[in-house]
Structure 1
Amino acid sequence: MDDSVNLSRKVVAVAAGEAHTLALTGDGSVYSWGRGMFGRLGTGSEADEPIPVRVNFDCAGRSTEERLRFVGVAAGAYHSLALADDGSIWCWGYNIYGQLGVEGDNATVPHLLQHFIELASPDSLTNESETKSKVPLKVCSVKAGGMMSLAIDNLGALWMWGNCLQQSSSNEDGFFLVSSFIPTPVWDFHGHTVIKVACGNEHVVALVSSGETYKGEDIVCYSWGNNNHGQLGLGDKESRLQPEIIKTFNEDSPWAVYEVACGAFHTALLTHKKKPSDTLESLCWTFGIGDNGQLGHETTQCELFPKPVKGLPQNVYLISVDCGLFHTSVVSSAGDVWSWGMERGLGLCPDATFSGIDRGDALSPLLISCNGPHRPKFQDPVQVACGAAHTVLVAHDGYKLWSWGRGKSGVLGNGNTAHCFTPTMVLWPPLMEDSKQEESKTSGEEGNVGAKDSEGVTETERRLSLAMDEMKLLQSKLSAMERYASILHGSIFGKPFEEDDIPASLQNFGTFDIAKEWENMLEAADRAKLIRLEMSYRNMLAGVKDKLMKRRIQEIVEECLHSSSTGPK
């Protein structure tokens, strides 16, 4: 496989919105899947997409070599951003607050944000003598959260648009949110470099250089916005219009912050000890609302100051963190993934998932096990991303994607809409991409594989159609088998079949020793379950004996009738 094919299949970044996911590949393409309402998928419609589809950008007048190549993606609750290598920002989805950088309705296809085109940096002088020497702006990264969009330019300035904070005229200490489709620079960081930024529903956290330029570990952590749950980490619940330093991570802190993420009303950061340090061990810190255990502190209390998450091993290095609305996930360099928060750390509502002793929110980290051969670890992890109630992990150095949590609207990208309480594989690479690559391989051999037939259908389209039909047939068969298994399981055990009921040997190794599993099940069963099994067995045995007796009687009657009809006359 050549390098171009490898890059087209390699996911280098993901971003998750309320119920959709964006993936960026090594060749600069953008894919989306999940809920399509408000046009957040960029496909030209509001239809849901249960498997990844490529986002088509308007590249009129560009040759194949000059096509837009993207280097960044970001997802708000219902809108999406993509950053091209030329610094241009493309936006689509929900736009009621101007988060697309333009006045008007929602957009179902990507459009170019015009504001940064030929715009000078806010650090440039504006008098006439200096007009000609203005530095052209080039955006280097994009971020989104809630109804807000953000960008960092090549001089380290931070820009914001959408549902932005404004000073309240009636109360000097208060603020309110106002819609703004014009990107506005955050002047508070003039003379410093903004390294990374994250935002929740109504708060922002930024990692900023302590000096004018970034030198490695000289990072100060700022926060501002709504603070009604302590999500700013400043020790109180007073909201801030202007950025303020979080003292735990100021210039004198022994900790260097290298990752930051925001949930709806909570914040998570990753740190390691500043050099010199003998280890590369890291800590995850959280603060803000803790009602559903999303802070991982073994309680449901709010935290006004940053506090390390309890229950994570000390000898691991965490490479990525993200927050859903009410859950948090981290992944280590070794491939371990932990989640905590609402309903077992999946982000799902309590009535949607577990029952019995498994029910409830995870107040401390739970290890998420991979179902593959490297269980419980995920091989070569890259990044974790959290939507409102789903989680996506990029692993195998970008060539495999896993997802779990809410499945409604195809959010998990696995082709169906069922909730998944354990990791499931995203259908990656997409079928269409496989068909295109297969076509390019065989076109040289057959010469006319890509040619259209009399009805104008290419061989690629025909193969894709057949593949989709086959997938639908397999899904139909799977659904029928699941119903059959549930009925059979319910008749024996008196409760619906659940994924947890699948024997461990079948989950782990793909083989099933029925005698051994039956013995294990009997050994683990309590008295009530054994009594029910005995009753089920007796009823089944009685039914079988009854059926055998009836059939034997019928056979005897038929023999007698046959004998009387053929006897001597």
Structure 2
Amino acid sequence: MLRKVVGASAGEAHTLALTGDGSVFSWGRGTFGRLGTGKDSDELSPVRVSFAEGRGEPKFVEVAAGAYHSLALQDDGSVWSWGYNIYGQLGHNVEKSAAPTLIEEFKELGAPNSLSREPNAIHETTTLKVSSIKAGGMMSLAIDNLGALWMWGYCPQPSSTEKEEEFSLISSSSPLPVWDFHGHTVVKVACGNEHVVACVSPGENFHSGDLLCYSWGNNSHGQLGLGDRKPRARPQVISTFEEDSPWAIYEIACGAFHTAILTNKKSYDQAIESRCWTFGLGENGQLGHGTVTSASRPEPVSGLPHETFLISLDCGLFHTSVVSACGDVWSWGMEKGFGLFPGAIDSGGDALTPIRVRCGETPDGLFPVPVQVACGAAHTVLVADDGRKLWAWGRGRSGVLGRGQIADSFVPAPLTWPQSEANSDKEVERRNFESKASSHPSGGMSVETAVHLSDQSRLPPEKLRRLMEQYAAVLHFSVFRKPLDERSLPQSLHDSGVFDVRQELENMLAAADGGELARLQVFYEGMLSAVKEKIMKRRIKDAVEEYILAHSPGRKP
């Protein structure tokens, strides 16, 4: 059987994949050692990355690919890096590294609450642990387990002059804290060549659905979404998604000079609706707005159907791709959304609006059980079939499509994946999911669950049924990371058209493992925060807490 893939990330011409047993695989261009194989040669098919450590092979929970470098997050909160390092993006003082190396400096930084601007501040000795990583063009970012953001490599930083603080890009091999978010929780972060976008809690603690979106760095094409093209030395809130906005952010991505954001409606009175917004450089159609004009404020991509729920988003250098929960994939941008350079194919030009990418193995063109999409400079990789299969398309040189050859592919083609043992270790996979979900402030995919339960009685019966079916589908995906099959709709919906929250929570808790319980907790917190009527809020809280206590380890009879 194939190894189950739980995450992927694409660089300029290489791809990383994380499997459920905590292994890291890489393939594509090997220049600068970006594949982590100990050499600079290309790999035409996925190969396992070896991590030298005295106490055995470490287990990993996340991977991130920059343009020419790679990062991997270990389950104990430590970070490994390899590849190109001219700007210090590996966190080491070397020109490059062809083999993974532990970033030792994180061990010396201490807990983020011990950091202070004061020179004589007393520092605690608690080891800093990272819970999420991201890599951009020539920079690296990390969110620690307390929600603080760190940056290293070629990073946007304020530069003080006699008159004012100006934007600049500096090289640093040491992780630097972003002080502007001190006292807040950074939940998600993305970066392009010279700009950064972060989702941050308004207060100290994160509650699902209340995120603010900040951006800073170079803004020559409006990629910060602030309504102008002036660079920012420090993070500034994107006003489109302020607290009074009807949209809640749950995913962000950056191309070289453009940004994309996924949101969903905070109110589900009519239907569960998600939307993709883009801004920044648009000359290759990468914004999907039907023009080659750049945009300095977020604008929705109108070519996507509103009735679908988008679960994954990524940006290449000059193209963008999204995936829906039901298995639809859309792409737009340079050379019909492939990201290929002009003249690479006789495509008739750039895709200015979304083009549906079809799966040739299914009658309806849908990809089965989609997980994630990852975009490189000129290739796209899709993890689907619940992680059991990967498809790739675009430029094939250097083996970046992972098919054992260097030919381009203008339709999705399955990867040549190495075989694993007949029986994978499901317990190790479960622990990796649990570690990832419990250590990250978002607990996995953020899905706003603002269903106004107290207003349901005013909806017509048929509309209420459709609403609750959608609600059940989003709940199921948030917890189990797979769409809800029609045959698996809760029995309470089949019988009466009413979603029995109490009974379904009991069923889910009984079936869920540790990682799924963590995601369920995040979903529950968001749902509870959206209910305005106090008695209903209290009833939901009491019911859920009763079942959580009933299934808690070590509960006394």
Pairwise TM-score range, normalised by the shorter structure:
0.7 to 0.9
Q: Contact between 2:327 and 2:369, CA under 8 Å: does it hold in 1?
A: yes
Sequence identity, in percent? 63
Q: Does 1:327 align with 2:319?
A: yes
Match of 1:377 in 2: 366
Match of 2:336 in 1: 344
Pick 1 or 2: higher relative contact order, CA cutoff 8 A, min separation 6. 2
Q: Contact between 1:51 and 1:415, CA under 8 Å: does it hold in 2?
A: yes
Q: Contact between 1:249 and 1:255, CA under 8 Å: does it hold in 2?
A: yes
Shift of 1:253: 1.0
Task: Measure the CA separation in 2 of the matches of 1:172 and 1:425.
Answer: 53
Match of 1:396 in 2: 385
Selected match of 1:410 from 378, 394, 399: 399
Unaligned runs of 5+ in 1: 441-569
Match of 1:449 in 2: none
Change (3 A) 1:122 1:177: same
What one-letter code is carried by the residue in structure 1 that aligns with 2:203? G
Residues 366-409 of structure 1, C-alpha deviations (whole Å, 9 max, x = no match): 00010112541100000000000100000000000000001010
Q: Contact between 2:159 and 2:233, CA under 8 Å: does it hold in 1?
A: no
Q: Does 1:16 align with 2:10?
A: yes
Match of 2:445 in 1: none
Task: Measure the CA separation in 1 of the matches of 2:10 and 2:47.
Answer: 15
Q: Contact between 1:211 and 1:218, CA under 8 Å: does it hold in 2?
A: no
Provide the aligned length of Structure 1 versus Structure 2. Answer: 423
Q: Contact between 1:342 and 1:361, CA under 8 Å: does it hold in 2?
A: yes
Match of 1:48 in 2: 42
Match of 2:65 in 1: 75
What one-letter code is carried by the residue in structure 1 that aligns with 2:206? Y
What SS does the corresponding residue of 1:237 show, helix, strand or coil? coil
Task: Measure the CA separation in 1 of the matches of 2:94 and 2:126.
Answer: 30
What SS does the corresponding residue of 1:350 show, helix, strand or coil? coil
What SS does the corresponding residue of 1:87 show, helix, strand or coil? coil
What SS does the corresponding residue of 1:397 show, helix, strand or coil? helix
What one-letter code is carried by the residue in structure 2 that aligns with 1:80? S
Task: Measure the CA separation in 1 of the matches of 2:375 and 2:106.
Answer: 29
- 1:152-551 equivalences in 2 (<5 Å): 152-169=143-160, 172=164, 174-354=166-346, 358-428=347-417, 430=418, 433-434=419-420, 437=422
Q: Contact between 1:125 and 1:134, CA under 8 Å: does it hold in 2?
A: no
Task: Measure the CA separation in 2 of the matches of 1:125 and 1:384.
Answer: 36
What SS does the corresponding residue of 1:117 show, helix, strand or coil? helix
Task: Measure the CA separation in 2 of the matches of 1:146 and 1:20.
Answer: 13
Q: Does 1:144 align with 2:125?
A: no
Q: Does 1:97 align with 2:91?
A: no
Match of 2:520 in 1: none
Q: Does 1:35 align with 2:29?
A: yes
What SS does the corresponding residue of 1:344 show, helix, strand or coil? helix
Task: Measure the CA separation in 1 of the matches of 2:159 and 2:126.
Answer: 34
What one-letter code is carried by the residue in structure 1 that aligns with 2:232? R
Change (3 A) 1:178 1:401: same
Give every structure 1 segment of 4 or more consecutive aligned residues whose post-TM-superposition deviation is greater than 6 Å: 125-130
Shift of 1:29: 0.2
Task: Measure the CA separation in 1 of the matches of 2:238 and 2:115.
Answer: 31
Shift of 1:280: 2.1
Match of 1:477 in 2: none
Shift of 1:43: 0.2
Task: Measure the CA separation in 2 of the matches of 1:323 and 1:167.
Answer: 26
Residues 207-241 of structure 1, C-alpha deviations (whole Å, 9 max, x = no match): 00111111111100000000000000000000001
Match of 2:20 in 1: 26
Change (3 A) 1:44 1:134: closer
What SS does the corresponding residue of 1:116 show, helix, strand or coil? helix
Shift of 1:437: 4.8
Task: Measure the CA separation in 1 of the matches of 2:372 and 2:19.
Answer: 13
What one-letter code is carried by the residue in structure 2 that aligns with 1:422? V
Task: Measure the CA separation in 1 of the matches of 2:159 and 2:124.
Answer: 37
Task: Measure the CA separation in 2 of the matches of 1:10 and 1:280.
Answer: 30
Shift of 1:135: 4.1
What SS does the corresponding residue of 1:352 show, helix, strand or coil? coil
What one-letter code is carried by the residue in structure 2 that aligns with 1:172? E
Shift of 1:130: 8.9
Q: Contact between 1:145 and 1:200, CA under 8 Å: does it hold in 2?
A: yes
Change (3 A) 1:345 1:125: closer
